[in-house]
Structure 1
Amino acid sequence: MKIIVFGASSSFNSINKALAAYTANLVPGAEVEVLDLNDFPVPMFSTDTEKEIGRPDGAKAYFAKLESADAFVISLAEHNGTYTAAYKNLFDWASRINQQMFAHKPVVYLATSPGPSGAKSVLAQATGSAPFFHAEVKASVSIPSFFDVFDIESGKPKDEATQAQLMAAAVALTA
């Protein structure tokens, strides 16, 4: 099973990317490919820009990665209660290639933040809109206070409760 993984953030040290990669690697035998949104540059989406330039290469390359996957683990960063501008923009471009971008493949949505909300607002938005993009949501997990429960150096959760939540999500991905 090939799992495409990314943190929906443009941060080079994304805690969401670390969380998603850790979770995907809990799936036994999985081929895990971690994407960095910075590798898919696209202009700000508008229909005017689309008419002028067509679909940018960054969007095409991102969509090709989505097509190559058997499953996804996506961890969402939250800016002001919603998607990051970088992710939303790339997502909008990809949806113009094919709105059914997840092609009925299994998806685990995660979200984390340094604060106590755990990016729950954006997680609710993503899971709520997933059917429109043909994502088969198998699990969704919010991890509040990331730095209190996850050790960046070891790349692992500090506590058994967080470990259990992420393991359950990984198991659900393959169920």
Structure 2
Amino acid sequence: MATILAFAGSNSSTSVNYKLVQHTTSLIEGHQIQLLDMTRYPFPMFSEDEEKQKGYSNSLVELKNDIQQANGLVLSVNEHNSNPSAYFKNVLDWLSRLERKFLDNTKVLLMSASPGGRGGIGALGVTEALLPRFGAEIVGTFSLPSFHQNYGEGGIMDAELREAHQKALTQFLDSLK
């Protein structure tokens, strides 16, 4: 049994990426899952001055420890102007200052979702290129476009998208064995 940490790279209370993470973790059996709601992690904007004056918050240290104790990470990133949100980039900045390789030996299922037809692929691509610098191994990716049309109470409604999601999830879970 693996320990899986799951969260969205968004601090929005209405995040479609958090909904995708919740759905994804609901499909996982036989593993210990820790689901984080990032609205509860209000980090100040990173600056060297802030770091020198105040150091690292307890919630940042706890987040790093949770990541490092997990065997795998389920992460869905939101997109602002074809890039990860400033919030998510800020979280990465803080974590990497605390410990550069904070994702060392961590298997990652990387996803994105958006209300638009591109499914957050800009943010997905940027994040997919960035996380290995911190030690992550991306073992599966998935993008859910047009979230409000393709997702409902029962999950992903489009058969092709549902199959692609399941394939990425299976790749991720197989990597944890």
Calculate the TM-score normalised by the size of structure 2.
Answer: 0.92
Match of 2:166 in 1: 167
Instruction: For residue 108 of structure 2, give the secondary structure of its aligned residue in structure 1.
Output: strand
User: How many angstroms apart in 1 are the aligned matches of 2:57 and 2:44?
Assistant: 8
Identity within the alignment, %: 29
Structure 1 position 120 matched with structure 2 position 117: no
Match of 1:51 in 2: 52
Match of 1:77 in 2: 78
Question: C-alpha displacement at 1:24, in angstroms?
Answer: 2.9
User: How many angstroms apart in 2 are the aligned matches of 1:8 and 1:155?
Assistant: 23
Question: C-alpha displacement at 1:46, in angstroms?
Answer: 0.6
Instruction: For residue 139 of structure 2, give the secondary structure of its aligned residue in structure 1.
Output: strand
Number of matched residues?
A: 173
Structure 1 position 32 matched with structure 2 position 29: no
User: How many angstroms apart in 1 are the aligned matches of 2:171 and 2:90?
Assistant: 29
Alpha carbons of 1:41 and 1:57: their partners in 2 closer, same or farther (altered >3 Å)? Answer: farther
User: How many angstroms apart in 1 are the aligned matches of 2:140 and 2:154?
Assistant: 21
User: How many angstroms apart in 2 are the aligned matches of 1:157 and 1:141?
Assistant: 12
Question: C-alpha displacement at 1:166, in angstroms?
Answer: 1.2
> Residue 103 of structure 1 contacts residue 134 of structure 1 at CA under 8 Å; is this kept in 2?
yes
Is there any run of 5+ residues in structure 2 with no aligned partner, and where? none
Matches within 5 A, 1:124-163: 124-151=125-152, 154-163=153-162
Is there any run of 5+ residues in structure 1 with no aligned partner, and where? none
> Residue 10 of structure 2 contacts residue 88 of structure 2 at CA under 8 Å; is this kept in 1?
yes
Question: C-alpha displacement at 1:14, in angstroms?
Answer: 1.3
Q: Which amino acid aligns with 1:95?
A: S
Calculate the TM-score normalised by the size of structure 1.
Answer: 0.93
